[in-house]
Chains A and B, each alone.
Chain A
Amino acid sequence: MRRILSVIVNDHLGVLNRITGLFLRRGFNIESITVGKTETEGLSRMTIVVNVEDERTNEQIIKQLHKQIDVIKVIDITNEPAVERELVMIKVLSPLQKRAELTNLIEPFRASIIDVTLESVTIQATGNPEKIEALIELLRPYGIKELARTGVTAFKRGGEREREVPRIKHDSLSLI
């Protein structure tokens, strides 16, 4: 099952290594991970998408994350209304006679062309991973020369602050 964890960490050298190392050592598989600064100086947000077998593994991942001294909070946004975005850049073959067709094709995705040569164009799009997948599949027949995805970054939708997973849950989690 796919889980999205938003993890606020100290913006220290080596923290990414610490977190990915933890996942490696404990045998948890990362689907994607993105890191960037937050609104607070000294803190970064990591958005980690994992595919876990069961709730127990997810619980263990969160607990192990909490054990890291550089982890300030962990927010599990999987079941929350969340804004989830990924950026993709696709360099696709595009002979001049097909270019109009291509432009029309990407329009509903609100994607844009950010670089043009005689043979190819580079398309940029943002959206949730499903939308990105759909765009890639649509462009594949034209011949994708290069592709780069950023991985998901996300946080909870709405005005209230994100509810972090408490370091200790007395009842629910450990019952699993």
Chain B
Amino acid sequence: MSVKLQAEETAAHGGQKMMSGAQMLVEALKKEGVEVIFGYPGGAVLTIYDALYDAGIRHILTRHEQGAIHAAEGYARVTGKTGVVIATSGPGVTNIVTGLTDAMMDSLPIVVIAGQVNTSVMGTDAFQEAPTVGITMPITKHNYQVKSVTDLPRIIKEAFHIASTGRPGPVLIDIPKDISNQEGLFDYPEQVSLRGYQPTIIPNRLQIQKIVAAVKQAKKPVILAGAGVLHAKAHRELRAFAERVHIPVVNTLLGLGSFPGDHPLFLGMGGMHGTYVANMALYEADLIINFGARFDDRLTGNPKHFAKYAKVAHVDIDPAEIGKVVKTDIPVVGDAKEALKMLLEEDLVPGETAEWWRHLERLKKEYPLWYNEDNQTLKPQRLIEMIHELTGGNAIVTTDVGQHQMWAAQYYPFKEPHRWVTSGGLGTMGFGFPAAIGAQIARRDQTVLAVVGDAGFQMTLQELSVLTDYDLPVKVIIVNNYALGMVRQWQQLFYRERYSESLLPNQPDYVKLAESYQIKGLKADTEQEARAAIKEALNTPGPVLVDCRVTPDENVYPMIPPGKGIHEMEGVKP
């Protein structure tokens, strides 16, 4: 473009500046209020990193792109804001595939900026080329490839809008290197107009009234609260509603913290390793009111036996979740907060539930969570209880997947939202530690604990560098049972104790490992040692790693065996 033409162009657009695609991206990120980016540079994003050099946006350099996206997920989970990730083309972006799927399954708002090779060589198997749009199409809420620099501002605006509205989810923008270099006019749209994307926020009043009528009639009602309540920031409304109608509340794994874990109406978590009373309540109920849970199979057990006697009301912002797994009698599409607000405006009359409550109280008392106490060794369940006690229940806890995750869910009652960061839908090993990094960056004022298994931690432990680099006081608690604990448990119970490739007798010296990253390392083999170590960790201003060697053969109970119904829990009593 000639100088003269460029000047005319600028004049025609009210003095807006010509800038490169990379600069546009940075400007757009600022306009979206992005305060931190997690990423890793590479050839295809060099121009973007150059534009970031003096942009004033914080960038966290992880040691692997998987670490970057899990950190962004942790950030999104505790703030409710969109997590932003930059990865280079090819291996950079294939390394974030796990995190994208994880964010998709758990409905987390993430925007990924992916580098791509020059448009001139796309499709030629060029160096570090991967078909990013095709690879990530099924694991993103939406994705884009930028074909012209003039489209870039609109696409970024749309990406942030799509990621954070309706049912949140990850959006990827694939930017070829030459598009980052190309100059264009930066015209950032104020509004988004997408004909094919109009999430329904306000529920239908008549449907809400059907819930009110059902509550009045119900003798055995139960509320199921999922992560949708947290995404909608509707925990106060949920509590007000439950108290008004005096209905017990069951949480899903991801919904923990949406209802106070110490509330008398709380029955605990439902599902495979939920409490007996929560599962029996779901099984026997004559009314289930589901706010923002998607009836995952880990919750329902064999769906044939789930909600067998219940009228089901399902409030969800995603219409496709309603009726997907469980037959729904009262479908309500909309935001959980709006639905609860509308419910609270109605004349709510609780049903006759005295007998139901007597039954539930009996189950609660008779079948609590249990484990065999033992003073000689360190019981993982006791370890979690101790963490809860020593943090006053105020910490942010992140986990991977598996036994330690279930124990954390069972023995750490979350009283408040946005304190629990776990990989639910995808069940991602290696998630917990980088997610803790993201959570700590978001909440410098809070104690963040990465409660991880020894196997999962070894998948992403290179991110220990990040703690040192950015002076993050994350406390890593390794629930070390020298095994892939849940795999070992299943092999014990369902594969005749043939422990095929699930035992990890040789492990690194985690204390030395921590020290090599200039992090304080502690270890504990008994309850007393663990107590002292965790106290020390919590009193140390910087990052600390505590290797807690727990009883290796402990199992997570109670459990719904695979293929069984929600009422067929095993290990309910010692």
Using a Cβ–Cβ cut-off of 8 Å, how many residues does chain A contribute to the interface with B? 30
Indicate whether B505 reaches chain A with its CB closer than 8 angstroms.
Answer: no
**Quick check: which of A58-66, A130-138, A139-147, A153-161 contacts chain B, the rest being far away?**
A58-66
Tell me the nearest residue of chain B to A59, going by C-beta: B323
| A69, B319: Cβ atoms closer than 8 Å | no
Out of A25, A66, A68, A174, which one reaches B322, CB within 8 Å? A174
Q: Is B3 an interface residue (CB 8 A)?
A: no
A68 contacts B196, C-beta separation under 8 Å: yes
Given contacts A59-B323, A69-B194, A176-B323, contact A14 B137 (CB under 8 A): yes
Question: Which of A95-103, A112-120, A165-173 lies at the binding interface?
Answer: A165-173
Q: Which of B137, B162, B324, B333 contacts A60 (CB 8 A)?
A: B324
Contact: B204 with A170, CB < 8 Å? Answer: yes
Contact, CB under 8 Å: A21 / B328: no
A13 CA to B318 CA, complexed, in Å: 26
B368 within 8 A of partner (CB)? no
Say whether B329 contacts A175, CB under 8 Å. yes
Within 8 A of A (CB), among B170-187: none
Using Cβ atoms and an 8 Å threshold, which residues of chain B touch A171?
331
Question: What are the residues of chain B within 8 A of A59 when measuring CB–CB?
Answer: 323
Q: Which A residues between 63 and 110 are near B, CB-CB below 8 angstroms?
A: 63-64, 66-72
Interface presence of A128 (CB below 8 A) = no
- Hey, which chain B residues are within 8 Å of A13, CB to CB? 145, 147
**Cβ contacts under 8 Å, A18 to chain B:** 137
B333 engages A168 (CB within 8 Å): yes
Please state if B319 and A63 are interface contacts (CB–CB under 8 Å): yes
- Whole-angstrom distance between the alpha carbons of A175 and B141 in the complex? 27
Q: A14-B137, A21-B137, A72-B195 are in contact. Are A56 and B331 (CB under 8 A)?
A: no
1/0 contact string of B132-150 vs chain A (CB within 8 Å): 0110011001100101000
Residue among A17, A21, A56, A167 facing the most chain B CB atoms (10 A cut-off): A167
Of listed B141, B320, B324, B328, residue having the most chain A CB within 10 A:
B320
Report how far A72 CA is from B198 CA in the complex, Å.
10
Task: Show 23 A/B contacts (Cβ-Cβ < 8 Å), sorted by A.
Answer: A13-B145, A14-B133, A14-B134, A17-B137, A22-B138, A25-B138, A56-B323, A66-B319, A67-B318, A69-B142, A69-B162, A167-B198, A167-B319, A168-B204, A169-B331, A170-B204, A170-B206, A170-B207, A170-B331, A174-B322, A174-B328, A174-B331, A175-B328
